[in-house]
Amino acid sequence: MNRKLPVALTIAGSDPSGGAGIQADIKTFTALGVYGQSVITSLTAQNIFEVTAIQDIPPAFVAKQIDALYNDLGFNSVKIGMLSNKKIIGVVADKIKQYKIKNVVLDPVIVATSGALLLNKNAIGLLKSELIPRSLVITPNIHEAEVLTGKTIRETESIKQAARELRELGCPYVLIKGGHRRDTVNSNDLLYDGKSFTEFRAKRLSSMNFHGTGCTFSAAICAGLAMGKDLEDAVRSAKKFISTSLARSLGYKKKQRRLIHYRKN
């Protein structure tokens, strides 16, 4: 495999609007100078307002996509997004184990911003037992952290406690994103490594909704890992990237906005 070229893989659902999912991930990889590859787990019919239909890819075909890419360029890092059911989760977990993939960024996509359920409720347990322990870092937002821990999260101390509980599931790092908090003027993310917390600060840009920010942020972390950065540096670079992209986003009707994936010069 060619390890001179930084290569990142996204395993996620397809968003035909281009704002989230594998389309957002590939845009992010490209903007950051990383060669992007993708494995599609689900097809969706969606735009920035709603998800109207989901068609899952057969698990065996998901596995064949991963095999084909590993046996060609391989990949320095992997970002995992939408995995809608237990069988797909199982296949992806098996491939991570088979190929001994270390740099795994797990974005536990559970519910779309529009409210559509993207992960079957009966699959959450398997996500926690099979994928989180095989990940380098998980990147839940506040709501996803609540679902994974079963506890309400409000203030900073409850975020820290959730991070502690999630790390006990077996991943070295937990990054809880603060974009959904409404008790602060900032959009700060909290990284926990089992010993200490590191806060990544950014000013909240507006009260508008943004489509695909979680996907883009986790993909940017994955790109940083592909380029050889350590996890904390990858998060720091990703935070700068997502903040710049948000600042350049396009306004649209109904107070929705589309990200512009800022390309480094």
Please say whether the beta carbons of 50 and 114 come within 8 A: yes
pLDDT at 44 over 70: yes
Q: What percent of the chain has pLDDT over 70?
A: 85
d(CA 66, CA 71): 9
Structure tokens at 169: 């599931």
- What are 211's strand-pairing partners? 258
d(CA 120, CA 176): 22
pLDDT digits (tens, 9 = 90+) for 118-139: 677 788 999 999 999 999 999 9
Residue scoring higher pLDDT (213 or 61): 61
Q: Say what the pLDDT of residue 264 is.
A: 56
Global pTM reads 0.91
Q: Say what the pLDDT of residue 19 is.
A: 87
What phi, psi does 81 have (nearest 5°)?
-115, -120
Q: What is the CATH number of domain 7-252?
A: 3.40.1190.20
Q: Domain locations in the chain?
A: 7-252
Q: Say what the pLDDT of residue 2 is.
A: 47
d(CA 169, CA 78): 19
pLDDT digits (tens, 9 = 90+) for 73-88: 999 999 999 998 999 9
Please say whether the beta carbons of 159 and 190 come within 8 A: yes
d(CA 153, CA 147): 10
Overall residue count recorded for the chain in this entry? 265
Q: Say what the pLDDT of residue 179 is.
A: 57
